[in-house]
Amino acid sequence: MALLVYLLFLFMFPFCNKAQGPPSPGYYPSSRIGSVGFHHGFTNLWGPQHQNLDHGTLTIWLDRTSGSGFKSLNPYSSGYFGAAIKLQPGYTAGVITSLYLSNNEEHPGEHDEIDIEFLGTTEDKPYVLQTNVYIRGSGDGNIIGREMKFHLWFDPTQDFHDYAILWNPDEILFFVDDVPIRRYPRKSDATFPSRPMWVYGSIWDASSWATENGKYKADYTHQPFVGKYKDFKIGGCAANAATSCRPIPVLPAPLG
């Protein structure tokens, strides 16, 4: 029954962007992947002076001088990648807080990318969660279906919530608290990422487009802008894994 509810949800609400909470899928992938300590899975990428690790919680922040980012120690060819994230309240227009997969450093100008991005906002409006899929540098919506935006059914500044990407050879799923909010199926080799990617997180100034297409900019009288991450999850096949490594399925195998 749980699997039936899950499949019905994917069929009926593949692009759900309403503010109310969708039904429970009855399947909780985050519970199947153990957490890893930050230094066991990641390292600083840039802005080390704007990162602080305290009892398993990583805080990164943006001010006038710099933002900050981190990167997984290894690239992956498939897997489940997530973290619990808590966002900054108040005025955060122009600021992006993110968790994503990319191979931009390996393939500059022709990279693949799978994004979860939180678009900063003004004090009277909620955050927007944006998902992106890029293939070989292309995010053309006519080909790939680049950007899809969602309003969450909770305030992401009040507590930590789980956000994750499940990427396997057949499809990509985006999860919020184990609820699938977007399904991106493999339709052709040209529209689906297959090259290894690293896992990243960052906070940075995207004033030119982040909030209402750049209408509202980052205002550094509100600095620092802070993002908090914990319960990092990496479960999948590293790029150099043995051929016996099997991608994580979207649904668990039947019992018995």
Give the ranges where the chain is alpha helix by DSSP (H). 2-12, 38-41
C-alpha 90/C-alpha 253 separation (Å) is: 43
What DSSP line would sit under 167-195, residue for residue?
A: E-SSEEEEEETTEEEEEEE---GGGS--S
Q: Can 113 be counted among the known catalytic residues?
A: yes
Exposed/middle/buried for residue 229 (C-beta within 10 Å: 0-12, 13-18, 19+): buried
- Which residue of the set 105, 106, 110, 113 is catalytic? 113
Spatial neighbors of 180 by CB under 8 A, at least 6 apart, are: 6, 9, 10, 25, 173, 174
- Which residue of the set 105, 106, 110, 117 is catalytic? 117
Place of tokens 């692009």: 15
What is the 8-class DSSP label of residue 11?
Answer: H
| Number of neighbouring beta carbons within 10 Å of residue 193 | 24
Q: Can 147 be counted among the known catalytic residues?
A: no
Supply the residues annotated as catalytic: 113, 117
